[in-house]
Amino acid sequence: MNADSYDAMLTAVQAFHDKHRFRDTGGEDMTYRVALMSEELGEIAECVTKGKSREQLAEEVADLLILLIGTAIAQDFDLKQAFWDKLRKLEGRESRMINGRIRVSEFKE
């Protein structure tokens, strides 16, 4: 298995969950996971707003990615398939400039 593949990442995060018994100890509870993801997003925002290094930003983004993969494990869905399904939807959408920045969304008239 290619160490850079999504499947390798999924296997590594699953091993981390198993090692710490997340399923048995509340680590896969969705309310808890959402709080952790919010915390990581705050740390990403802090990197951006306080001008922290690219390395620090990369570490915080990696934390969020690990939590996202873990959430797919906890909720038993295929994140890779969800990613491709969502990207196909996004690719079919029009973009608009909103307040001087590009936005690709499902605009409601």
**54-80: per-residue pLDDT in tens?**
999 999 999 999 999 999 999 999 999
Structure-token pair, residue 25: 């100890």
92 domain residue, yes or no: no
Residue at 38 is within a domain: yes
**Residue 36 CA to its chain's centroid (Å):** 11
Average pLDDT over residues 5-29: 96
Whether residue 36 lies inside any domain: the answer is yes
- Look at residue 39 and tell me whether its pLDDT is greater than 90: yes
- Tokens representing 12? 């590594």
Query: Residue 65: which domain range?
Result: 6-78
Confidence of residue 1 (pLDDT cuts 50, 70, 90): low
Residue 102 inside a domain? The answer is: no
Query: Is 108 within the bounds of a domain?
Result: no
Which amino acid belongs to residue 94?
E
CATH number of the domain at 58, please: 1.10.287
Mean pLDDT of the chain: 94
Total structural domains in the chain?
A: 1
